[in-house]
Amino acid sequence: MFMSLTSYSPAEITLRLKNAFSYRESLGLATNALRLVNSRGDGLEGLIIDRFNQHFVVYILDARWHPHQKTIADALCEHFEVAYLVCKDRTVSGTRSASRIAVDVLIGQGNSQTIVEENGLRFHVDLNDHLNQGLFLDMRKNRKLVAFHAPGRAVLNCFAYTCSFGVYCRKFGATRVTNVDISAKFLNKGKENYRLNHLHEGRSEFVRDHAVRYLERAAKRNNLFDIIILDPPSFSRFEGTVFSVKKDMPLLIEKALRALTGEGMLFVSTNLSSISRPQLEEWAHIAAKKTGRKIIESSRMGQDIEFRGSGLMKESFLSAVLLKTVLLHAV
């Protein structure tokens, strides 16, 4: 049950935090990187806590949590071995810039980096990054489900970030994976994740480019893929161009469908709360007609089980679908 934040006592906060921690432990997830507190889903609206091995991040989404930072830190230290704890204040409305997020290290002034394990794979994480850490926890289930279809297939990972989808697909037996991102910094971190999982870099496996531009070239050159992954940021800029999910996702889906093999699969996701799964599916069906394809199966994907209240709040939202398609005729 949710209570008004103003009515929380330190004892009530501690109890709710412990209940949230115990619930996650009861799930038996195959990872040491997970969401420990999911705002309203745990009756603690405006508060999110993520765990990365022995490193922890507290996100404050409501300024009324500021006086309770010590209570939160004490609860974490009582329940876990905490090597590093950072608090990130995201109360500035409309924050897209990392420079506008206040960061306060509460425990462990030393190394902000750690390595986490997820379904037998390993990933570098750096909690000193203002906006993200290097691994999106809400995509864990989707990484595994997409990789399940990867054996023997060529995979294109657009908006690759640190290439966690690429690591999964290579480990699951993809014959070829191409990771495309506009950031050389993140692609280099992706290479580190490959090395961490004893994967050799394939030729042209890491490409710095805008996804739309790469998809256009791939289709023109008949460089087609069996699986394409689209997990774009809600908003980005690259070489004078602006990408917005709300405006550009329909065209992005169309470009991706043109770069698929005859019976290719497309994974599409967004964290923008104004875009629902049915909206993604509608855009995909429209794009399929334009590209001479038919969607023969649509699997609705989402966050893993520890994301309590998933979809009920914009701070913890994910719309995702995995589409199986077939090419009827070239257009």
Cβ contact 225:179 at 8 Å: no
Indicate the pLDDT class of residue 238, thresholds 50, 70 and 90: low
Among 21-30, 48-57, 61-70, 242-251, the minimum mean pLDDT is found in 242-251
Using one digit for the tens of pLDDT, what is the confidence trace for 91-138?
865 444 544 578 899 999 778 999 999 999 999 999 987 667 999 999
- Of residues 243 and 287, more confidence is placed in 287
Span 270-286, average pLDDT: 94
Domain borders along the chain are 5-119, 136-327
Q: How far is CA 219 from CA 95, 153, 262, 291, 305, in A?
A: 36, 17, 12, 11, 37
% helix, strand, coil for the chain, step of 5: 35, 30, 35
Using one digit for the tens of pLDDT, what is the confidence trace for 129-175?
766 799 999 999 999 999 999 999 999 999 999 999 999 999 999 99
Span 164-189, average pLDDT: 96
The CA distance from 302 to 317, in Å, is 9
Spelled out in words, what is the top-level CATH class assigned to the domain 5-119? Answer: alpha beta
pLDDT at 236: 72
pLDDT at 315: 82
Using one digit for the tens of pLDDT, what is the confidence trace for 202-224?
777 999 999 999 999 999 999 99
pLDDT at 20: 98
CATH classification for the domain delimited by 136-327, as one of 3.40.640.10, 3.40.50.800, 3.40.50.150, 3.40.630.30: 3.40.50.150
pLDDT at 100: 58
In the three-class reduction of DSSP (H, G, I as helix; E, B as strand; rest coil), residue 10 is classed as helix
pLDDT at 1: 43
Using one digit for the tens of pLDDT, what is the confidence trace for 50-78?
999 999 999 999 999 999 999 999 999 99
The CA distance from 63 to 251, in Å, is 38
pLDDT at 5: 61
Name the CA radius of gyration of the chain, rounded. Answer: 20
pLDDT at 18: 98
pLDDT at 239: 67
Q: Where are the alpha helices (DSSP H) in the chain?
A: 10-27, 69-79, 140-148, 164-171, 184-196, 211-220, 245-258, 277-290
The CA distance from 122 to 54, in Å, is 14
pLDDT at 95: 45
pTM of the predicted model as reported, rounded to 2 decimal places: 0.93
Using one digit for the tens of pLDDT, what is the confidence trace for 289-323?
999 999 999 999 999 999 999 877 888 899 999 99
